[in-house]
Structure 1
Amino acid sequence: MTERAYVYTTYIRSTADLVFRALTTPEFTMQYWGGAELTSDWRVGSPLEAVHPDRDDFIGEILAVEPPHRLSYTFTGRAEQAAGRAPTVVEFTISGFGEEAVKLQIVHTGFGDDEQGARDVRDVGEGWPAIVAALKTLLETGRPLASPGHFAPRVPATR
């Protein structure tokens, strides 16, 4: 059985430090990850949970943390976990791109070579571009992307 993968690359007018912080800080993630707060202590082996007030999102385990250039974790839903399906793996790589930008590459692996794997790759192929576009917009403009439905941002309360 072969494994499917999904790869997405974009360029963001930002710094590696800020992109990494945006990937690992709930106040950032809720503004571009469909309102979900990604919570973890960001140590290898620690749990990761995408917390949303209106729905169950994903869970995972931290596999690699190398600020500000690499982050990796497993990715699954509670229903998939309960059904015994193996989690997939997401890896973010952040590298310099000229003087004002960074290259962000996401490699999502672990999809089976079956009908379910094909559906999963299709689903992440719709999700990652929307999430990354919202991240890019937030970092480049300072404002969340006004996304519809499942992708709608939440803005942190002013403190």
Structure 2
Amino acid sequence: MVTQLEIQYKTTIKAPVEKVWEALTSPDIVKQYFFGTDLVTTWQIGSPIFFQGEWEGQKYQDKGKVLEYEHNNRLAFSYLSNWSGKEDLPENYLRVRYEVEPDGTGTKLTIFQTNYDQERAKHSEENWASVVNEMRKVVEI
């Protein structure tokens, strides 16, 4: 049975909000920590967003649409993974949202993501932890 679970991944990064925001939205920085992925978007609400590249010798292109964008605060996009095996139908797109806010000397980052089921929710949480740990290497003071 398919459900729309939502995971929340929360962490604090030892960097200012502006630096974390740039790491989430700048294609050059995303490529450094997100599995070598090329991020392609204008960040205009309604515009397409693509995460593309090559992983273990296979080309991929994950896609979606920018749903929200509030500079240095929050952004959201729909998302369909090339690896999901799901048809390109609106009901098969996940929703991903990033929120950042100052937290003492760092930035509180919360990532929300809808998922299809419990197994994929667990995988997503593990994946976000790995991605954010790589981001830390790029942005932390």
Alignment RMSD: 1.9
Alignment of 1:17-32 (within 5 A): 17-32=18-33
Q: Structure 2: where are the runs of 5+ without partners? A: none
The alpha-carbon deviation at position 21 of structure 1 amounts to: 1.2
Distance 1:106 1:93 in 2: 7
**Is 1:74 equivalent to 2:75 in the alignment?**
no
Note if contact 2:47-2:66 (Cα within 8 Å) is conserved in structure 1: yes
**Is 1:104 equivalent to 2:109 in the alignment?**
yes
- C-alpha distance 90-136 of structure 1, shift in aligned 2 (>3 A): same
TM norm structure 1: 0.77
Distance 1:77 1:71 in 2: 18
- C-alpha distance 14-121 of structure 1, shift in aligned 2 (>3 A): same
Distance 2:88 2:139 in 1: 36
Distance 1:25 1:41 in 2: 10
State which structure, 1 or 2, has the greater radius of gyration over its C-alpha atoms.
1
- C-alpha distance 81-56 of structure 1, shift in aligned 2 (>3 A): same
TM norm structure 2: 0.86
- C-alpha distance 84-16 of structure 1, shift in aligned 2 (>3 A): closer
Q: 63, 67, 78: which is aligned to 1:63? A: 67
The alpha-carbon deviation at position 58 of structure 1 amounts to: 1.9
1:94: which partner in 2? 100
Alignment of 1:105-144 (within 5 A): 105-109=110-114, 111-112=115-116, 117-140=117-140
Number of residue-to-residue matches in the alignment = 135
The alpha-carbon deviation at position 119 of structure 1 amounts to: 2.8
The alpha-carbon deviation at position 103 of structure 1 amounts to: 0.3
Q: Structure 1: where are the runs of 5+ without partners? A: 142-159
Higher strand share: 2
1:8: which partner in 2? 9
AA matched with 2:92? A
